[in-house]
Chain A
Amino acid sequence: MFGLTARSAGFSPIEAIAFSVIVFAGASQFAAAGMVAAGFAWPAILVLTALVNARHLLYSAAIAPWLRNQSVLKRAVMAHLLTDESFALASVHFQRLGRVDPTGYWIAAIGSTFIPWNVATIVGVLGGQFIPNPRVLGLDIVFPAAMAGLAVGLSHGRREVAAAMAGVACAVLIGLLWDPRFGVVIGGVVGPFIGLAVPAGPRPTTALGAIATDRDEGLPS
């Protein structure tokens, strides 16, 4: 979809591919393509990019405890590959295992996200001329459906469900009253507070949850 969008915004194939390789952040890439097409100045695009991608701070903080034993260089590369999809896939994988799996992170970040995203960009920007309206094929639903499905995959208790539902409420309300991009960030910040206000269910089975529980009980981490 980004390749098609970039093409319609006037990007050359090299520019579209550069966005997907160097920026590698879908929502801000779409937003930037729209702003470039509308003639916005670069500083405005950069401010929006920083705001839209502020949610990565939350992802990075959430996944940092899992990756604390990786080398600085590896974590620096892992950071560039941190996206909605790689975060969700890696988090579900780590929680399922109950421990960190660096190979799983690379597979999620590169094999399942970076390569498909860039291949799709190339296909979209080069082959877009043959698909006049991709919405007819329903391809625009892939992104929100994947996000919703991954949220379900991360929800194992009432706190997660409460956080997700509160996030949805914030995203819709703020999105309607202000801007959908800010709605996402505010939903991601406020939702977990609502989740924390809900009584916890059974003892968490995930490593991150176990770390938190052990700290509660004064056990060594």
Chain B
Amino acid sequence: MTTGLVGLAVLMALATYPSRAIPLLAPGFDRLPARALEYLRLVGPAVLASIAASQIFVNPAANGSGPSFHVGVEWLAVGVCVVSVAWRRSLLLGIVLAVLIVAGARGLGLAAA
């Protein structure tokens, strides 16, 4: 069993840790101005929504072609999940519904697997 990539994992962790730790460990971050704190409060919704959007709206570059706009059942699935969380406050229900929609559509041949 090979272990050569364990070293890469360690280096990747070293490349990741500063961005995770510096604001938490550096003194002064709790004394930021009010405007900065309000900005930071908005980071969560913005980043998480950006991640979801990039996953369902953008096909990454592949085979020499650039990124492309994605249209698919994933929109419906994530939309149902969003409505479920907003309405029932249940993330688990939303995820289960999303998986069922995508699996169902692909199983029925309505969407590419």
Specify which chain A residues have a CB less than 8 angstroms from the CB of B53 in the assembled complex: 167-168, 171-172, 175, 187
**Given A53-B15, A183-B50: A175 in contact with B58 (beta carbons within 8 A):** yes
Specify which chain A residues have a CB less than 8 angstroms from the CB of B100 in the assembled complex: 138
Specify which chain B residues have a CB less than 8 angstroms from the CB of A59 in the assembled complex: 20, 43-44, 47
Q: Mark A113-127, 1 if CB is under 8 A from B, else 0.
A: 000000000000000
A195 to B45, CA, bound (A): 10
- Whether a CB of chain B sits under 8 angstroms from the CB of A184 is yes
What total of chain A residues lie within 8 Å of the partner, measured CB to CB?
A: 108
Specify which chain B residues have a CB less than 8 angstroms from the CB of A91 in the assembled complex: 44
**Given A136-B107, A187-B53: A147 in contact with B15 (beta carbons within 8 A):** no
> Secondary structure of the A side of the interface?
helix
- Whether a CB of chain B sits under 8 angstroms from the CB of A82 is yes
Restricting to A125-171, which residues have a CB under 8 Å from any CB of B? 133, 135-155, 159-161, 163-168, 170-171
- In angstroms, how far is the closest chain A Cβ from the Cβ of B65? 12
Restricting to B27-71, which residues have a CB under 8 Å from any CB of A? 29-35, 37-58, 60-61, 67-69
Specify which chain A residues have a CB less than 8 angstroms from the CB of B34 in the assembled complex: 211-216
**Given A42-B11, A145-B77, A148-B52: A80 in contact with B17 (beta carbons within 8 A):** yes
A158 to B20, CA, bound (A): 28
- Whether a CB of chain B sits under 8 angstroms from the CB of A104 is no
Q: Is the CB of B103 within 8 A of A137?
A: yes
A44 to B50, CA, bound (A): 24
Specify which chain A residues have a CB less than 8 angstroms from the CB of B12 in the assembled complex: 19, 22-23, 25, 28, 32, 45-46, 49
Most buried by A among B19, B49, B69, B85: B49
Q: What are the nearest 6 A-B pairs in CB distance? A: A191-B46, A187-B50, A138-B103, A138-B102, A188-B47, A167-B46
